A = this chain, B = another copy of it.
Amino acid sequence: MKKEKIKELKHFYYNELFENTLPFWTSRCVDNLKGGYLTYLDRSGNLMSTDKNGWVQGRMTWLFARIYNEYKREPEWLELAESGYRFLKDHIIDQDGRGWFQVTREGTPVRRRRYLFVETFAVIAFAEYYRATGDKEALDMALKVLELIYRLMADGTVPKFEPLVQTRGHSMTMIMISVLQNLRTCHPEGDYQSLIDTQINEIFRFFIHPEKKVLLETVGLNGEFINTPSGRTVNPGHAIETAWFIMTEAMERKNKELLDRILPVLDWHLEAGWDKEHGGLLSFIDCDGHQPEQVEWDMKFWWPHTEAIYACLLAWHLTGEDRYARWFEKIHQWSFAHFPDRENGEWYGYLHYDGTVASTVKGNFWKSAFHLPRQQLFTLQLLGKMEQEPVISL
């Protein structure tokens, strides 16, 4: 990748992030009446539901505070973050530290879910807000929710599966890498290194199966392969996201060995996840080549593409290997040819198998101002570093 190309890409991503993606949200997401963010939006940005989702409140608080902390130290970004922070504190996170998946516009609880993703996103929101403001209460809440997460992970929460057939899921293990990396940035006095090591070791020990060249979503308690449709399920976007979390750790620690261990995971899932006929990354595959269980398996969702674009650019930055520049270019091109809505702004989230638009929503309980702007921000920051030093060696 030539310097000229890097400069051009930086310009492109700056425009995408600040002229397209973020304005779509910032012009309408803050609920001036009840606080927090309203994100259930149709293609033109009209509200489809006033219910609020706990993940989304945490993710967007984090995003706005991160932009303030790392890219644009202007009061509007902090104000945007503050709206989510207050709503999280007042309506999403309970006294005991547990969070609500869904609340009404006013904050009346509608639904709790078993897993702890509301809580993980609250931790990064509180931590990033603390970093922006120095507000000790925000840090205290981040640490309190983190402690609860660790306690519930140890105890088990309400179990989804019966104890006789216990399984381990990839999601929580991978999300905690990112949560702890965020905490380390926001709270450098804390000791997060060994906790991050534990998470990364679990990924390698339990979920990565080199004999099948996959990272599995669900395994036995000791990482055993489970020969059922859910045991064989591979989520290429998810595996690629985990790969860049761990590549980030390798870069942070200048650990070439860790980098060399994780890069094959990126390679496997780019190769197996790419739809050779229609282009784009498949949502699910079966590691033994059977029909995947999920009926949406060959749909093209936006977020695996944003994760893969960033992962490939980072891999090139860390290795200089041609194949990553080629994958970056291929996924970047395909994504920008298919996902953006150039009329109303932002991206569509869900394409049919053939790349046509399946759902026109811009936001719902899963798609919000998170994956796309996070990737565009991180890509922009990485391109900034690459202008100085295109490829580094660990």
Query: C-beta contact mask, A104-117 vs B, less than 8 Å → 1, else 0?
Result: 10001111100000
Which residues on the B side are within 8 Å of A108 (C-beta)? 164-165
Question: Do A40 and B229 have beta carbons less than 8 Å apart?
Answer: yes
Least CB distance from A355 to B in Å reads 12
Question: Do B229 and A49 have beta carbons less than 8 Å apart?
Answer: yes
Question: Do A359 and B40 have beta carbons less than 8 Å apart?
Answer: no
Question: Do B350 and A352 have beta carbons less than 8 Å apart?
Answer: no
Question: Do B110 and A295 have beta carbons less than 8 Å apart?
Answer: no
Question: Do B164 and A42 have beta carbons less than 8 Å apart?
Answer: no
Question: Do A293 and B364 have beta carbons less than 8 Å apart?
Answer: yes
Which residues on the B side are within 8 Å of A110 (C-beta)? 161-162, 164-165
A residues apposed to B, CB below 8 Å: 40, 42-43, 48-51, 104, 108-112, 160-162, 164-165, 227-229, 290-293, 295-299, 301, 350, 352-354, 358-361, 364
Which residues on the B side are within 8 Å of A352 (C-beta)? 352-354
Least CB distance from A351 to B in Å reads 10
Least CB distance from A267 to B in Å reads 27
Q: Give bound CA distance, A273 to B260, whole Å.
A: 52
Question: Do A42 and B229 have beta carbons less than 8 Å apart?
Answer: no
Q: Give bound CA distance, A164 to B100, whole Å.
A: 13
Least CB distance from A101 to B in Å reads 10
B162, B291, B359: which contacts A112 (Cβ < 8 A)?
B162
Least CB distance from A349 to B in Å reads 8
Which residues on the B side are within 8 Å of A301 (C-beta)? 295
A-B contact pairs, 29 of them (CB 8 A): A40-B229, A42-B290, A43-B291, A48-B229, A48-B290, A48-B291, A51-B228, A104-B165, A108-B164, A109-B164, A110-B164, A111-B161, A229-B364, A291-B359, A291-B360, A291-B361, A292-B359, A293-B361, A293-B364, A295-B296, A295-B299, A295-B301, A295-B350, A295-B359, A297-B359, A298-B358, A352-B354, A353-B358, A354-B354
Whether A295 touches B109, Cβ cut-off 8 Å, given contacts A49-B228, A49-B229, A229-B40, is: no
Q: Give bound CA distance, A366 to B290, whole Å.
A: 18
Least CB distance from A169 to B in Å reads 14
